[in-house]
């Protein structure tokens, strides 16, 4: 059973940076596309960034140029480097991997950006 554990969230001022990590266990994740999602209060969960097994990345427009998704396959770990943070980035951030028909999620990590 795959398990994902996020870390690295916190409170930061606008313009600051945070680096989120997602450690996977229970299976190798390097052959699957992985992603970071976020959910702000009163809003639907949205996909922020994804990375393919080969390293191809995709981002939503609002974070392009500010966020960088990466993965360390040797460590079975996914990262999200977040720079130039804005108050609108405040949300709970979740990592995700879809393996065949099963979706696996971490417990989430809170990111709060103060103005």
The per-residue pLDDT for 34 is: 96
Q: What is the pLDDT of residue 27?
A: 85
Look at residue 50 in the predicted model and tell me its pLDDT.
98
Category of 40 on φ-ψ map: left (φ > 0), alpha (ψ -120 to 50) or beta: beta
CA 8 – CA 25 distance, rounded (Å): 18
Which residues on adjacent β-strands are paired with residue 58? Answer: 50
Q: Which residues contact 50 (CB under 8 A, 6 or more apart)?
A: 33, 34, 35, 36, 57, 58, 69
Q: Which residues of the chain have pLDDT under 70?
A: none
Query: What was the pLDDT predicted at 3?
Result: 95
pLDDT of residue 1: 87
**What pLDDT does residue 110 have?**
98
Q: Which of 50, 63, 45 is nearest to 108 (CA)?
A: 45
pLDDT value at residue 44: 97
pLDDT at 85: 98
What is the rounded CA–CA span in Å between residue 5 and residue 25? 9
């Amino acid at each position: 059973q795959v398990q994902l554990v996020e870390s690295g969230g916190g409170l930061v001022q606008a313009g600051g940076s945070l680096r989120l990590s997602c450690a996977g266990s229970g299976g190798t994740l390097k052959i699957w596309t992985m992603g970071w999602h976020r959910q702000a209060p009163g809003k639907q969960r949205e996909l922020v960034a994804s990375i393919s097994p080969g390293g191809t990345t995709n981002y939503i427009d609002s974070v392009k140029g500010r966020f960088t998704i990466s993965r360390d396959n040797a460590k079975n770990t996914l990262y999200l480097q977040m720079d130039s943070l804005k108050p609108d980035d405040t949300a709970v951030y979740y990592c995700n991997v879809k393996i065949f028909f099963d979706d696996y999620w971490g417990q989430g990590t809170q990111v709060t950006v103060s103005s």
